[in-house]
Amino acid sequence: MAIEIHWIRDNDSLGRHCAEWQQLPYVALDTEFMRVDTFYPIAGLLQVGDGSRAYLIDPLTIDNWQPLAALLENRAVVKVLHACSEDLEVLLRLTGSLPAPLFDTQLAAAYLNLGFSMGYSRLVQEVLGIELPKGETRSDWLQRPLSDTQISYAAEDALHLAEVFVQLRPKLSDDKYAWVLEDGAELVANLRRETDPYEVYRDAKLAWKLSRAQLAVLRELCAWRETQARVRDLPRNRIIREHSLWPLARTQPDNLGALAKIEDMHPRTVRQDGEFLLDLIKRSGSLPPDQWPPAVPEPLPVDAAALLKQMKAIGQAEAERLDIAPEVMLRKKTLEALLKSGFPNGPYQLPDSLRGWRRELMGQALLDSLATAGEQP
């Protein structure tokens, strides 16, 4: 079956179509982008599906994104995407707005227990019985003209995404539908919470092994790396490689020769930023103790594994009861944060990351489970 494709290549056309889409109950959205040598994704194509047609929007010829921003923010129109974290970055970068409400078909598949973290092709095969062509995902979406294969691939994505939504929506109970939208809102909120560069060090590899004085250096290095990646629009590892951060903070080199010998240190970094890095290390290494960051907690010990397993079982039992993919229930990071709040003897506190329906359904059971574990001889 031939797909009806409409190209949108100018501001007026985008405005007209967005006004039409504002009247629909839902639109399917997808993006194609390039992100090889940049921090931010570069949009190559936007696709919209309304259930019967595919619209291809050329971001290289449009500069007024306000109509699309208004559509994204219209809460009367459900925005349907799949595994959308990077698509959200593209939309935010282009329009300054993010979709609400957001229905992620990958999440919906998990809530229907079709599978966890399902790829788009597999989901289309499962729900629609259609086998999608492969091979264009990694192609050059900034080239013009796009190839016929690229155009067909992009149009199919938009059309079938809308069809998948139409099939999945009636199968979701009201509760599950609300939970899919709740998780979608959480994805949007997480993207809006732009990471504070001065908090990045907490997630650096082996940070817990450093003293507070060394952490002061790591904090500055990570903050500078994060800021420069954004300013220069380069991947973080092009600023300083990940594996160089910890040895830099631990050994604190004071000359270019020592800097060049740091594990995984790229010669380009030494050449471009070496003198600055030596000065940054010297300054942050001289901070007084009252300006040192707090120690980073150690990873949970091996004997916490049994408690983690016990808490995970609560999520699995609830998943079985609700017929939901168990991986959706309780994230490992959330359970670890809960354990760290009081290990080994309590009292424990539910972490902020356990929100909404998960907190309501499982929060007290998790606390009760840990309290019972603490009473055991």
Active site (catalytic) residues: 30, 32, 87, 153, 157
Which of 194, 251, 268, 257 lies closest to 217 in space, CA to CA? 251
**Can you name the residues that pair with 81 across neighbouring β-strands?**
104
**What would the DSSP string read from start to end of 295-329?**
PPPPPPPGGGHHHHHHHHHHHHHHHHHHT--GGGT
Calculate ∠ Cα 221-294-373, nearest 5°. 125
Place of tokens 């809460």: 75
SS3 of residue 39 by DSSP:
coil
For the chain, what's the residue count? 377
Residue 46: which of 78, 2, 3, 92 has the closest Cα?
92
Contact call for residues 110 and 119 (beta carbons, < 8 A): no
- Please enumerate in sequence order all residues whose Cβ is within 8 A of that of 34, keeping only pairs 6 or more positions apart, or say none: 41, 42, 44, 140, 141, 142
Q: What are phi and psi of 7, to 5 degrees?
A: -90, 140
How many CB atoms neighbour CB 48 within 10 A? Answer: 24
Name the residue among 227, 273, 230 with its Cα closest to residue 248: 273
Largest CA distance in the chain: 73
How buried is 347 (Cβ within 10 angstroms: 0-12 exposed, 13-18 middle, 19+ buried)?
exposed
Q: Which helix (H) or strand (E) element contains residue 232?
A: helix 212-232
From the list 106, 88, 105, the residue with the least C-alpha distance to 97 is: 88
Q: Tell me the CA end-to-end span of the chain in Å, nearest whole number.
A: 68
Please check whether residue 296 is in contact with residue 208, taking contact to mean a CB–CB distance below 8 angstroms: yes
